[in-house]
């Protein structure tokens, strides 16, 4: 039997949350059936949970604010932003209301709010529908960032976000939606996966578990296919072994489960889709340099999109966004520099 | 006017005056926005609210808080960062949360939050309302319109109280608002009431049936108060000319009520002045607040 598609898994997770607790709400544009959301993540849900799934006007700021109010009143609220690019319109509600309210009243105020952000390019939607905006939300006190992963049941990630008691952004790579979940430790004929912690927060992909790897790639869920493809070429054509770490939680980052592996690797490379400058990877690299200074053979390598808008035409978009070849080139270059 | 109303009005008045005094003496830190001249609005509304109703306040929120809680002590401690502060001194003047009262410092931000709470109330405890205070200047925020649209579409028990003091910081309403609030309400098919009384009992008589409709239908309602900011925007930052200041002073309920009932007024006035002075002395003598474990 083939595994379910990532979007089916996501849909099932959302249904599970709505089913388990009638005080769970799902709000967003065009969520209701028969449309079921721009990427069909909410298909069937408004029919099954009519009072809990609400299609809204095109009002990102107010919708996230309404969800913040529902959360303030003790509910669990999930918002789907149609394209993550539009989450900028809710920046005030996320940063100044939801995130701050957890602590700014001198008491701990749970705000169980999840803002789902369909993210990333490679679909030719052009500059305002293709961005990866994770970096703009880092370092906001009280706010956690998660990302959809083909290695982890989304329900587990949702439970983790809700249990945190604070607002979370959940980035969902749009290309990942239609790909399949990985099951039973199998990625493909060469690569396997497991999890570094019991909760399955960090997935690890490897081809050869024996020796210390030449490289560890750290990447969020949206980069998995490109990272695996790069690791495959490097294994076959360059005789370089890569392991890939895929954390479900991007920020704040928990280094504990990954440190043993990072210590063993000749190179650590952080891969992401955001544009250059002030990236997630830069933040991780800085922390890793601090944690492993003296043990690192070379600086942590960053791979990200170019400092550019994301063009619509496929060939131009490819020239801006991270490709498997970009990763391979960066790893080889870094390893060549002793 | 009831004794209770007069007590609250004068409590708020003396509280705000005390803040300005403390600022002048350099004993307060940061910023503060007093509601001098507008105290009667939350005092009048207080009697129309039930314990289960939520109140969302803004930057000019001391009167909103004191009308709901007879707690000058906790509020002043919050503003002065002393022990006994309502929010551990973390929030300060503009960020207060206590039970079903919440204030925030970004204009318009609490409107959709109040709508979210109103949605919750509609579902879980019908008959309760979410009241949100905004000023005339806050109508420049887009999220206000996003929220009015949603509140009407979803029939939310949201009571929007506009304290139109005809000025936003230093910008007069004629320079920041095209058209009227009434027409904006009409555009969203939301009920609207204009109120130019300063008498709590008159205000309640006007609004009582309308607020009942908000609860029972439920349905949003916009109430616009014609009011005047007697003091500065925050501390010493009043750039209005003498005519404008005179006009505001002429509308001050404090002067009018004192004229109308000098003896009763004088007694309560003295009592609250003394009370606030004692609170200020006591709070100032306390140790610094310990913040909280939360942040
Ligand atoms: C989004 C935002 N912009 C600017 C400010 C700074 N600010 C604080 S109060 C104020 C004026 C608000 O005017 P109004 O809504 O009329 O209320 P009033 O001060 O008259 O009570 C401004 C500009 C703010 N707090 N939030």
Contact (Cβ atoms closer than 8 angstroms) between residue A300 and residue A269: yes
pLDDT of residue A286: 98
Cβ atoms within 10 A of the Cβ of B247, count?
13
| Mean pLDDT on A157-175 | 98
Q: Do B292 and A101 touch (CB under 8 A)?
A: no
Q: Do B121 and A73 touch (CB under 8 A)?
A: yes
pLDDT of residue A214: 97
In this structure, the residues whose C-beta lies within 6 A of any atom of ligand 1 are B 59-60, 105-107, 134-138, 163, 165, 167-169, 229
What are the residues whose beta carbons fall under 8 Å from the beta carbon of B208, sequence distance 6 or more?
B48
pLDDT of residue A116: 99
pTM beyond 0.95, yes or no: yes
Question: Burial code of A17-47, b = ≥16 C-beta within 10 A, e = fewer?
Answer: bbeeeebbbbbbbebbbeebbbbbbbbebbe
In this predicted structure, the answer to whether residue B280 has a pLDDT above a threshold of 70 is yes
| Mean pLDDT on B215-236 | 96
Give me the residue from B104, B118, B124 closest to A97, CB to CB: B104
Q: Do B294 and A107 touch (CB under 8 A)?
A: yes
Q: Do B147 and A65 touch (CB under 8 A)?
A: yes
Contact (Cβ atoms closer than 8 angstroms) between residue A115 and residue A99: no
**B121: nearest CA partner in chain A:** A73
| Mean pLDDT on A161-178 | 98
Confidence of residue B295 (pLDDT cuts 50, 70, 90): low
Could you tell me the CA-to-CA distances from B162 to A258, A309, B42, B182, B248 in Å, in that order?
54, 42, 11, 11, 17
Q: Do B295 and A106 touch (CB under 8 A)?
A: yes
For residue A108, list chain B residues with Cβ-Cβ distance below 8 A.
293-294
| Mean pLDDT on A84-105 | 98
- CATH 3.40.50.970 intervals, chain A: 6-178
Ligand 1 pocket test target in B135, B224, B225 with most atoms within 8 Å of CB: B135
pLDDT of residue A76: 98
In this predicted structure, the answer to whether residue A1 has a pLDDT above a threshold of 80 is no
pLDDT in tens, A13-69: 999 999 999 999 999 999 999 999 999 999 999 999 999 999 999 999 999 999 999
Confidence of residue A127 (pLDDT cuts 50, 70, 90): very high
The CA distance from A56 to the nearest CA of chain B, in Å, is 8
CA A6/CA A174 separation, integer angstroms: 10
Decide which of A127 and A1 is more confident: A127
Give me the residue from A70, A92, A102 closest to B106, CB to CB: A92
Q: CA torsion angle for A292, A135, A90, B140 (degrees, to 10)?
A: 110
Confidence of residue B294 (pLDDT cuts 50, 70, 90): low
In this predicted structure, the answer to whether residue B99 has a pLDDT above a threshold of 80 is yes
Query: Which CATH number, 3.40.50.970, 3.30.565.10, 3.40.190.10, 3.40.50.300, labels domain A6-178?
Result: 3.40.50.970
In this predicted structure, the answer to whether residue A121 has a pLDDT above a threshold of 70 is yes
Residue of A26, A105, A142, A143 for testing the chain B interface, max B β-carbons within 10 Å: A105
pLDDT of residue A338: 66
In this predicted structure, the answer to whether residue A187 has a pLDDT above a threshold of 90 is yes
Q: Which ipTM was obtained for this model? A: 0.97
pLDDT of residue A152: 98
User: Angle at CA A92, nearest 5°, toward A87 and A93?
Assistant: 80
Query: Which CATH number, 3.40.50.1820, 1.10.150.20, 3.40.50.920, 3.40.50.720, labels domain A192-336?
Result: 3.40.50.920
Ligand 1 pocket test target in B30, B33, B59 with most atoms within 8 Å of CB: B59
In this predicted structure, the answer to whether residue B293 has a pLDDT above a threshold of 90 is no
pLDDT of residue A175: 97
Rounded to 10 deg, the angle between the B262-284 and B253-260 helix axes is 130
What are chain B's domains?
3-284 (3.40.50.970)
Structure tokens at A277: 């400058």
pLDDT of residue B24: 94
pLDDT of residue B291: 67
For residue A68, list chain B residues with Cβ-Cβ distance below 8 A.
112-113, 116
For residue A105, list chain B residues with Cβ-Cβ distance below 8 A.
87, 90-91, 95-97, 102, 294
In this predicted structure, the answer to whether residue B131 has a pLDDT above a threshold of 70 is yes
Rg of chain B on CA atoms, in Å:
19
pLDDT in tens, A130-158: 999 999 999 999 999 999 999 999 999 99
Give me the residue from A51, A70, A107 closest to B116, CB to CB: A70
Nearest CA to ligand 1 atom 20: B168
User: Angle at CA A85, nearest 5°, toward A80 and A90?
Assistant: 65
Q: Do B90 and A103 touch (CB under 8 A)?
A: yes
Single out the residue of B99, B98, B133, B139 nearest to residue B113, CA to CA. B133
In this predicted structure, the answer to whether residue A240 has a pLDDT above a threshold of 80 is yes
pLDDT of residue A211: 85
| Mean pLDDT on A293-316 | 97
| Mean pLDDT on A252-277 | 97
Share of chain B above pLDDT 70, in %: 98
**What is the overall mean pLDDT for chain A?**
97
For residue A107, list chain B residues with Cβ-Cβ distance below 8 A.
87-88, 97, 292, 294
Q: Do B95 and A96 touch (CB under 8 A)?
A: no
> Phi and psi of A101, rounded to 5°?
-60, -25
Q: Kind and range of the H or E element at B225?
A: strand B221-226
pLDDT of residue B292: 63
| Mean pLDDT on B184-208 | 98
Residues in a beta bridge with A54: A27
pLDDT of residue B235: 86
Assign A266 to helix, strand or coil. Answer: coil
In this predicted structure, the answer to whether residue B257 has a pLDDT above a threshold of 80 is yes
- CATH 3.40.50.920 intervals, chain A: 192-336
């Amino acid at each position: 039997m083939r595994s379910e598609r990532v979007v089916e898994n996501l849909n099932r997770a959302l249904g599970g949350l709505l089913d388990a607790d009638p005080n769970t709400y799902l709000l967003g544009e065009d969520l209701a059936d028969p449309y079921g959301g721009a990427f069909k993540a909410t298909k069937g849900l408004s029919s099954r949970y009519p009072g809990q799934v609400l299609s809204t006007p095109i009002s990102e700021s107010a919708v996230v604010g309404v969800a913040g109010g529902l959360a303030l009143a003790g509910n669990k609220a999930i918002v789907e932003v149609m394209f993550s690019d539009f989450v900028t319109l809710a920046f005030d509600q996320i940063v100044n209301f939801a995130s701050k309210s957890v602590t700014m009243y001198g008491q701990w105020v749970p705000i169980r709010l999840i803002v789902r952000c369909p993210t990333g390019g490679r679909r030719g939607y052009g500059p305002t529908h293709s961005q990866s905006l994770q970096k703009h939300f880092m370092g906001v006190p009280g706010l956690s960032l998660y990302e959809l992963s083909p290695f982890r049941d989304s329900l587990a990630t949702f439970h983790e976000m809700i249990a945190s008691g604070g607002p979370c952004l959940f980035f969902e790579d749009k290309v990942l939606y239609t790909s399949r979940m990985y099951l039973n430790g199998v990625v493909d004929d060469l690569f396997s996966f497991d999890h570094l912690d019991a909760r399955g927060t960090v997935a690890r992909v490897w081809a050869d578990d024996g020796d210390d790897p030449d490289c560890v790639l750290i990447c969020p869920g949206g980069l998995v296919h490109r990272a695996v493809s790069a690791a495959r070429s490097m294994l076959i054509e360059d005789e370089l072994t890569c392991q890939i770490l895929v954390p479900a939680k991007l920020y704040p980052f928990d280094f504990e489960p990954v440190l043993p592996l990072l210590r063993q690797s000749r190179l650590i490379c952080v891969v992401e889709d955001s544009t250059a400058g002030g990236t997630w990877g830069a933040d991780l690299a800085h922390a890793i340099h601090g944690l492993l200074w003296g043990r690192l053979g070379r600086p942590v390598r960053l791979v990200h999109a170019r400092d550019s808008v994301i063009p619509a035409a496929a060939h131009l978009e490819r020239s801006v966004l991270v490709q498997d070849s970009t990763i391979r080139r960066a790893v080889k270059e870094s390893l060549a520099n002793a | 006017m009831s004794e209770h109303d007069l007590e609250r009005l004068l409590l708020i008045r003396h509280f705000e005056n005390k803040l300005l005094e403390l600022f002048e003496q350099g004993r307060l830190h940061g910023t503060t926005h007093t509601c001098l001249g507008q105290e009667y609005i939350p005092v009048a509304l207080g009697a129309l609210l039930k314990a289960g109703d939520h109140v969302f306040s803004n930057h000019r929120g001391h009167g909103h808080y004191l009308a709901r809680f007879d707690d000058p002590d906790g509020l002043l401690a919050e503003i002065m960062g002393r022990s006994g502060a309502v929010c551990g001194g973390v929030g300060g003047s503009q960020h207060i949360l206590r039970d079903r009262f919440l204030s925030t410092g970004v204009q318009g931000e609490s409107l959709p939050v109040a709508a979210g709470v109103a949605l919750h109330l509609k579902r879980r405890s019908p008959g309760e309302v979410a009241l949100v205070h905004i000023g005339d200047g806050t109508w420049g925020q887009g999220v206000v319109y996003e929220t009015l649209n949603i509140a009407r579409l979803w029939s939310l028990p949201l009571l929007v109280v506009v304290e139109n003091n005809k000025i936003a910081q230093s910008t007069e309403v004629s320079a920041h608002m095209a058209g009227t609030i009434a027409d904006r309400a009409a555009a969203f098919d939301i009920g609207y009431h204009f109120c130019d009384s300063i008498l709590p009992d008159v205000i309640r008589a006007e609004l009582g049936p309308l607020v009942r409709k908000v609860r029972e239908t439920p349905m949003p309602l916009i109430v616009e108060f014609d009011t005047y900011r007697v003091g500065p925007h925050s501390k010493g930052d009043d750039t209005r000319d003498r005519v404008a200041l005179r006009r505001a002073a002429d509308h001050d309920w404090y002067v009018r009520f004192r004229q109308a009932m000098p003896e009763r007024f004088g007694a309560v006035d003295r009592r609250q002045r003394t009370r606030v002075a004692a609170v200020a002395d006591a709070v100032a003598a306390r140790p610094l607040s310990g913040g909280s474990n939360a942040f």
